[in-house]
Amino acid sequence: MDEICTGLCRLMVDSGADAGLAQFVSLLVGVLLVSGVPLLTVILLIWIERKVAARIQDRIGPNRVGPIGLMQTFADLLKLLGKEDITPTAADRLLYNVAPLVSFASVVLIWAVVPFTPFHYGVDLEIGVLFFVAVASFGTLAIMVAGWASNNKYALLGAFRVVSLLVSYEVPLVFALLAPVMLAGSMSMLDIVNAQSGMWFVVLSPLAFVIFYVSSQAETGRAPFDLIEAESELVAGFNIEYSGMKFGMFFAAEFLHVFTNGILMALLFFGGWMGPLYYESPLIAFAWLGAKGGIIYLTTLWLRNTVPRLRIDQIMAFNWKCLVPLSIANIVLVSLALKVLQELDMAPRQLIGASLVDMLPATIVLLIINGALTIYLLGILRRRGKDARREAQAAPVQFARASAD
Amino acid sequence: MNVLNEWAFIGVFAVMAPVFPALPIVIAWLFRPRKPNVLKSSTYECGVETIGDTWVQFRVQYYIYGLIFLVFDVEMVFLFPWAAAYNEMSLFGFVAGFLFIFLLTDALFYAWQKNALDWK
């Protein structure tokens, strides 16, 4: 992207254009090229999402419009274009209209720092990971604004739940992100991928990956954390008053966010474009990244369509009493172990360019530590579960409050 | 690409990002029917008229979670430079980071003991 922008900029200056204008236009072209990827995939994602959900529920899914229903999204788009757009008189008009824009923009903006191949990326910010954390939290803001501005009690309840849920799960998410940053010794996405040449970070720090996976499922509001859109209690939650294209934008943002998380997990934990022959051609590198991200994306869809919804008190307790302490313990143990290994010269100090053999002792030690922590955690959970079951048996049927709000 | 140019890219991207979702909304605005009436644009509550104000102060538990989150999120941002400098760090810096994490954990257990984490 760099060469394209600079090349274009030089070409325009040579042909007599104003230097500032030339720079602006070349940046704009770069932005359109980078954002083209998520904007084009989102059309396909809606179809994939519906098809996969249908297959898991033993249905056929969209199959009428176009071959195997591929044109369904375009038909839906046309339908949404013709829908009346109702703004409730009680709503705060400005915030009500801005919320869907912010929601979608926050997801697209993440792609500014997502590298597609070793040579094709928007920008390689030195604080790439932090940029992702900062931008992604705008999505939470958009949902709160939507719920508040609708001036509807269901919408407000939904928005309150979302904010408490998303905000809580951001803590383990960000803690899990510390692991790849620490291993690579850099916050740049490109450096993090290059540092995985010896060993993928999912092997070095599997618990960080699991924590990131679970909390990103919560961040996108997918089952089992989908009480944002609890249809049975809140009718739809924060987007109840939205209709037409604005409603569609919330959903496009959600679909895209799930896929974006898949790609990010591939980059941070699964070596990004690393794979056989990736250095031969950028196309192969891009295919590897797409394949890894796609598989992770499909597993999140699988999870979403398989597990039931949890209650809000259960979700919160799981986060604050299990995931957060676990993520802290994980960071402490991994950093301690890696430092000791580095002092003993059993692990390379610089992972970029390290080979598989260099990484082997560190891998084994870290795997044992992660395994021990997992077994310890499962032991605690098992004991807690037993206690809870015994209590439930001792006391006669006692229904929990139906709505925890 | 120099540093300023990188952030110029981010700046242009940030301006363009809301334009992408705005485009279909504007196109829909050109084509969509406009037939508002009083009932249609009233607050939707399954046909029942809404009673009382929506914008009220409500349920302190959400606020407590927000407070705990604020503590953690702000402190976690400080941990990122520590993690990024991990490979070149002196022992002092390393221990200082641990002290920081320890205080953070301490805060979590304090909140836990105070039953601030329980959904009431």
A6-25 pLDDT tens trace: 677 667 777 766 777 777 78
pLDDT surpasses 70 at A400: no
Q: Which candidate in B41, B87, B89, B94 is best for mutational testing of the A interface (most A CBs within 10 A)?
A: B87
pLDDT surpasses 70 at A3: no
Token reading at A79 = 């339908």
In chain A, residues with a C-beta closer than 8 Å to the C-beta of B32 are: 81-85, 244
pLDDT surpasses 80 at B59: no
Nearest CA in chain B to A342: B87
Do A169 and A227 touch, CB atoms closer than 8 A? no
- What residues form DSSP beta bridges with A302? none
In chain A, residues with a C-beta closer than 8 Å to the C-beta of B96 are: none
ipTM given for this complex: 0.88
How many angstroms away from the CA of B36 is the closest CA of chain A? 7
> Could you tell me which residues come within 8 angstroms of residue A191 by beta carbon, excluding any fewer than 6 positions away?
A184, A185, A352
According to the model, what pLDDT value does residue A266 have?
Answer: 92
By Cβ distance, the residue of B28, B35, B44 closest to A80 is B28
Distances (CA, A) of A286 to A50, A268, A272, B3: 25, 15, 9, 26
In chain A, residues with a C-beta closer than 8 Å to the C-beta of B31 are: 81-82
Over residues A254-272, the pLDDT tens digits come to 889 999 999 999 999 998 8
Least confident among A210-224, A340-354, B12-26? A340-354
pLDDT surpasses 90 at B32: no
In chain B, residues with a C-beta closer than 8 Å to the C-beta of A244 are: 28, 32
Residues 72-91 of B with CB under 8 A from A: 72-73, 76-77, 79-80, 83-88
According to the model, what pLDDT value does residue A300 have?
Answer: 92
pLDDT surpasses 90 at B39: no
Nearest CA in chain A to B20: A105
Test B59 with A324 for CB contact under 8 angstroms. Answer: no
According to the model, what pLDDT value does residue A1 have?
Answer: 59
In 3D space, the residue among A153, A172, A132, A158 whose CA is nearest the CA of residue A226 turns out to be A158
Count other Cβ atoms within 10 Å, centred on residue B85.
16
According to the model, what pLDDT value does residue A355 have?
Answer: 75
Taking residues A317-322, what's their average pLDDT? 88
Per-domain residue ranges of chain B: 2-113
Token reading at A196 = 């995985």
**Residue A402: band (very low, low, confident or very high) from pLDDT cuts 50, 70, 90:** low
- What residues form DSSP beta bridges with A29? none
Tokens 């071959």 correspond to A67
Looking at chain A, the whole-number percentage of residues with pLDDT higher than 70 is 92
According to the model, what pLDDT value does residue A397 have?
Answer: 59
Test B43 with A252 for CB contact under 8 angstroms. Answer: no
According to the model, what pLDDT value does residue A298 have?
Answer: 92
Over residues A175-233, the pLDDT tens digits come to 899 999 988 888 888 888 888 888 888 888 899 999 999 999 988 878 788 776 666 66
pLDDT, greater one: A279 or A129: A129
According to the model, what pLDDT value does residue A76 have?
Answer: 86
Taking one residue from A and the other from B, the number of pairs with CB-CB distance under 8 angstroms is 217
Nearest CA in chain B to A108: B17
According to the model, what pLDDT value does residue A250 have?
Answer: 86
Task: Answer whether B36 touches A (CB < 8 Å).
Answer: yes
According to the model, what pLDDT value does residue A375 have?
Answer: 92
pLDDT surpasses 80 at A405: no
Taking residues A159-181, what's their average pLDDT? 87
Token reading at B49 = 């008229």
Nearest CA in chain B to A4: B1
Q: Which CATH number fits domain B2-113: 1.10.3720.10, 3.10.20.600, 3.90.1150.10, 1.20.58.1610?
A: 1.20.58.1610
Token reading at A75 = 């038909």
A116 vs A109: CA distance, rounded Å: 15
Taking residues A149-162, what's their average pLDDT? 82
Looking at chain A, the whole-number percentage of residues with pLDDT higher than 90 is 14
Taking residues A156-177, what's their average pLDDT? 86
How does the average pLDDT of chain A come out, rounded?
A: 84
